[in-house]
Structure 1
Amino acid sequence: MRFFQLSIAALIISISGVFSAHALNRQLSEEEVSIINEISAHHSAIEQMAGRFIQLDSAGTRAEGIFYIKRPEKVRFKYAPPSREEVVSVGRGFYVLDRKEKTKFAYPQHRVPLRQFLSDQINLFETNITDVTKTEEMIAISISDDTPIGLVSVTMIFDIATKELNQWTLTEPNGSEVTFSIYDTTTDIDIPRAYFSIPANYKSRSE
């Protein structure tokens, strides 16, 4: 379960308004400000998205699967075998589902770092940006969020030309990391409502 608790934080990219003492210690350039605003606008305009993901943690544990996002507040990440897990948000919190045991574990939405990336409007400047690094092709934006487990940081890597998010790494207070990459994404899709539901026969389980 520990792996999937950290996975939830890593795979739900949203924008939090929580500010910590670790703030950006320099003035952003006009070009950086412009790019970040364009990234915010680009992702705010995306109502539905699907694609594939690869997830890798500090211990070398690898997982992959398919994800679906439908704003506002709906997401589903289905891990491929041998995993039997899914992570689903139906707008009232996140659930870790076990397809074999037919169980669900509720993970309150307010406990998920960066949870507001699923909202209608995204503004990266309403987050606690701690670092920005730019190359000719990519821009990396690091932000931090105060959570029940302490200060969690996320570094997101965007393609400057397309403004697409390609990868992000979440770091916990103890240094544990999860890197999450997405590919084969599409926004030309109409995701069925049933994809964001919890089966009625799944029993609740404790942590």
Structure 2
Amino acid sequence: MIRRQALLLGIAAGLSTFVPALGQGRALSAEEQQLINEINVHNSAISTMVGRFLQIDTNGGRTEGTFFLQRPDKIAFRYAPPSREEIVSIGNGFYVLDRREETYYAYPQDSIPLRQFLGSQINLLNANVVDVTLSDGYISVTVIDETVAGTVQVSLIFDTETKDLAQWTLVEPSGAELTFSLYDVQKGVEIPRSFFSIPATYRGKEPGT
């Protein structure tokens, strides 16, 4: 069973711009600032994106699935069987759907950092950056932020040539880690509107019940 809190933290933290909350991060070099600015511009220009993902938890558990993104304000992560869960954002909140029970849990949009990635602009230079590492054609940007579950640290890894997000690793408040990798990504793809909706047969439940 995938923990719902980890699902939201992993996806949200990995794709957010992290509004600073914990004081000043480290000073960035001119090269680092230039690369991060190019990453901002590149990703802000992406209107739609689809692909597959691989999630690895702190115990080595692996979960795969498909994601769909349409900016602004829409994203869906469909976890492959045996998982029965799906995460959908439709602009006014994030919903964790249980496909077997036909239920969903709602989380307010403004309580999840992912809202920053789904907006009209992305700006990692406004994040609380604590480390930047360049290695083997990739740039890793490590940020920390205060989320709904506590303080988290995330290392976002981008391809320095394409500026695409390839992977992120989340360190949860408990110390557990969650790594999320993207592959087979396509951009500019038309996505059916139904992918960002909750079926009328699904009933709402309170988180934790």
TM beyond 0.5: yes
2:22 equivalent to 1:20: yes
- CA distance in structure 2 between the aligned counterparts of 1:20 and 1:146, rounded to whole angstroms: 7
2:125 equivalent to 1:125: yes
- CA distance in structure 2 between the aligned counterparts of 1:2 and 1:162, rounded to whole angstroms: 31
Q: Secondary structure at the match of 1:195?
A: helix
What whole-Å deviation, never above 9, does each CA across 1:160-195 have from its counterpart, x for those lacking one? 011011100111121011100000000031111111
- CA distance in structure 1 between the aligned counterparts of 2:112 and 2:188, rounded to whole angstroms: 28
What whole-Å deviation, never above 9, does each CA across 1:75-110 have from its counterpart, x for those lacking one? 000000001110000011100001110000112222
Q: Secondary structure at the match of 1:170?
A: strand
What whole-Å deviation, never above 9, does each CA across 1:105-155 have from its counterpart, x for those lacking one? 112222223431111100111111111111241110011111232211111
Give 1:184's aligned amino acid: D
- CA distance in structure 2 between the aligned counterparts of 1:106 and 1:146, rounded to whole angstroms: 20
Q: Secondary structure at the match of 1:31?
A: helix
**8 Å Cα contact 1:56/1:178 also seen in 2:** yes
- CA distance in structure 2 between the aligned counterparts of 1:53 and 1:122, rounded to whole angstroms: 21
* Structure 1 outlier segments of 4+, above 3 Å: none
2:176 equivalent to 1:176: yes
- CA distance in structure 2 between the aligned counterparts of 1:11 and 1:148, rounded to whole angstroms: 13
- CA distance in structure 2 between the aligned counterparts of 1:83 and 1:90, rounded to whole angstroms: 22
Aligned identity (percent) is 50
Report the CA distance between 1:57 and its aligned residue.
0.8
**8 Å Cα contact 1:171/1:178 also seen in 2:** yes
Report the CA distance between 1:60 and its aligned residue.
1.9
- CA distance in structure 2 between the aligned counterparts of 1:108 and 1:6, rounded to whole angstroms: 16
Residue in structure 1 matched with residue 10 of structure 2 by the alignment:
10
Residue in structure 2 matched with residue 98 of structure 1 by the alignment:
98
Q: Secondary structure at the match of 2:92?
A: coil
Give 1:91's aligned amino acid: G
- CA distance in structure 2 between the aligned counterparts of 1:84 and 1:139, rounded to whole angstroms: 34
Report the CA distance between 1:2 and its aligned residue.
6.5
- CA distance in structure 2 between the aligned counterparts of 1:125 and 1:19, rounded to whole angstroms: 14
What whole-Å deviation, never above 9, does each CA across 1:33-88 have from its counterpart, x for those lacking one? 11000000000000000000000111222111000000011000000000111000
Structure 1 residues 70 and 203 mapped into 2: Cα distance closer, same or farther (>3 Å)? Answer: same
- CA distance in structure 1 between the aligned counterparts of 2:125 and 2:16, rounded to whole angstroms: 13
- CA distance in structure 2 between the aligned counterparts of 1:89 and 1:195, rounded to whole angstroms: 10
**8 Å Cα contact 2:18/2:143 also seen in 1:** no
**8 Å Cα contact 1:114/1:145 also seen in 2:** no
Q: Any stretches of 5+ residues in structure 2 without a counterpart?
A: none
- CA distance in structure 2 between the aligned counterparts of 1:136 and 1:2, rounded to whole angstroms: 32
Could you say what the CA RMSD is over the residues aligned between the two structures, in angstroms? 1.5
Report the CA distance between 1:205 and its aligned residue.
1.6
- CA distance in structure 2 between the aligned counterparts of 1:167 and 1:133, rounded to whole angstroms: 14
- CA distance in structure 2 between the aligned counterparts of 1:70 and 1:188, rounded to whole angstroms: 9
Q: Secondary structure at the match of 1:9?
A: helix
TM-score by length of 2: 0.93
